[in-house]
Amino acid sequence: SMTTSSVTFAQLGLTAPLLRALSEKNYLHPSPIQAEAIPHLLAGRDVMGSAQTGTGKTAAFALPILQLLSAASTTTPHALRVPRSPRALILTPTRELAVQIGDSFSAYGRHLRLRHAVIFGGVGQNPQVRAAHDADIVVATPGRLLDLASQGHVRFDRVQIFVLDEADRMLDMGFAPDIKRIIGRLPVERQSLLFSATMPGSILDLASRVVRNPVRVAVTPDAPAADGITQSVVNVDHGQKYPLLRHVLGEQKGLVLVFMRTKHSANKLAKNLSRDGFPAEAIHGNKSQAARQRALETFRAGDVQVLVATDVAARGIDVKGISLVINYDIPHEPEAYVHRIGRTARAGTQGEALAFCEPSERSNLRNIQRLLRKSIPVKNIAFTPAPPSPASTSHPRASHPAAPAHHRPATAHQHSSSSHHPRASSHSHSAPSH
């Protein structure tokens, strides 16, 4: 949820056209990252921010960029104005993020006369080329940007403000060479911002090429989980996750985002859910940009209730009305958990996060609880279990009559102590505190 501070946007030094747009969006107060970063950015400083999506970081850079560029344009006499070329460049890892950032510029800049272009791969380039020729602000993913630049459609020589968004994710996605090529073509005299959810050594190395004497602003990793999100763990055997999921979906009215580690399993799960009467789409890095965008729009519109996503694809998804996030598996990286659950309870609403934890995932869960500095309560959910599959049991099928299994509700916190006999045991675990 969006925690806000007690200062006002006006106190940060923002001008009337921006304040009007913000009040039209019903933003009452700046979020902490906005309150910290905006005054420094308006003063021309470089900023390095530890902040992930959901903290309000987009407005933290978009508002000052709009203000700085519009101040510069009004002081240039009209007759002296050269054709537009980008004065601000925002690099972001995914198409989804690029589109969302573009939408933010449209919303916050609606009372200003600046133009922006959004550039990303996987779709035809012509509309983007046209937009790029007339843009003050370019929001782009690195690959397509370099393509257009090499064809002469985007120039970098007048860039005054440069933003590297989600820097850690960009490095994970292998964008380091592209980013370095782009940085090498930017004017040395410029204002730069770098945002990253995490700050490992590789990011600090990169930062040394991007920012100069930056102000550091940070939002603690557990801020998005601070309030508005009810988190619980459901202990469940591997083979019972799918029946548990179907049960949970049957009880759920709002949009549900399900996370899985691998593309293959995400696809399979979406297919199985659709087959079983829970219309679902999958979104992951193997899908074309167009297919990802389609899936996201179908979900956003509520045409499917369930979106199954991998971490990379879902990073930055900002869909209002996700009431439940399910960790179908427990991520190895504790930070990924925080990112995942931050997809619900957006902008002050309520949300729920469930983590389906099988015995082999308990150590992952412990690492998450250590990062959050709290234990996640265990929730017991009664559901109809699946019969043991022939492959997972050494007992003949006949010794597990299917009918009683379907009629006797199981409780998800029950764990079998023997993997080949999933249903029979009622050995129960509770979440370790630390």
- Residue 94 is a binding residue for ligand AMP (CB under 6 A): no
* Secondary structure (DSSP) of 286-312: TS-HHHHHHHHHHHHTTSSSEEEE-HH
- Residue 50 is a binding residue for ligand AMP (CB under 6 A): no
Nearer to ligand AMP (CB atom), residue 2 or residue 270: 2
Which of the 8 DSSP states describes residue 13? T
Q: How far is the CB of 32 from ligand AMP (least distance, A)?
A: 10
416 CB-near residues (< 8 Å, 6+ apart): 237, 422, 423, 424, 425, 427
Question: Closest by alpha carbon to 128, among 104, 109, 108, 147?
Answer: 147
Nearer to ligand AMP (CB atom), residue 134 or residue 227: 227
Nearer to ligand AMP (CB atom), residue 22 or residue 244: 22
Q: Give the interface segment with ligand AMP, choosing from 47-55, 175-183, 271-279, 415-423 (CB under 6 A).
A: 47-55
Nearer to ligand AMP (CB atom), residue 30 or residue 102: 30
Q: How far is the CB of 127 from ligand AMP (least distance, A)?
A: 25
Identified binder of ligand AMP from the candidate list 68, 186, 347, 405, rule CB under 6 A? 347
Pair of tokens at residue 285? 């890095």
Identified binder of ligand AMP from the candidate list 32, 49, 56, 64, rule CB under 6 A? 56
19's enclosing H/E stretch is helix 16-24
Q: How far is the CB of 347 from ligand AMP (least distance, A)?
A: 4
Identified binder of ligand AMP from the candidate list 50, 53, 70, 192, rule CB under 6 A? 53
Q: Give the interface segment with ligand AMP, choosing from 40-48, 50-58, 174-182, 281-289 (CB under 6 A).
A: 50-58
Please report where in the chains the tokens 């933290």 appear, as a residue.
Answer: 60
- Residue 55 is a binding residue for ligand AMP (CB under 6 A): yes
CA–CA separation, 260 vs 272, rounded Å?
A: 14
Question: Closest by alpha carbon to 294, among 313, 274, 315, 275?
Answer: 313
Identified binder of ligand AMP from the candidate list 14, 37, 59, 146, rule CB under 6 A? 59
* Window 3-32: residues binding ligand AMP (CB under 6 A): 4, 27, 30-31
CA–CA separation, 124 vs 28, rounded Å?
A: 39
Positive or negative, the CA dihedral 147, 153, 156, 159 is negative
CA–CA separation, 7 vs 31, rounded Å?
A: 9
Number of residues lying near ligand AMP (CB under 6 A): 16
Identified binder of ligand AMP from the candidate list 136, 166, 311, 318, rule CB under 6 A? 318
Q: How far is the CB of 54 from ligand AMP (least distance, A)?
A: 5
Positive or negative, the CA dihedral 71, 212, 138, 27 is negative
- Residue 153 is a binding residue for ligand AMP (CB under 6 A): no
* Secondary structure (DSSP) of 347-401: GG--EEEEEEE-GGGHHHHHHHHHHHTSPPPB---EE-PPPPPGGG-SS-GGGS-
- Residue 340 is a binding residue for ligand AMP (CB under 6 A): no
Q: Which residues contact ligand AMP by CB under 6 A?
A: 2, 4, 27, 30-31, 34, 53-59, 318, 346-347
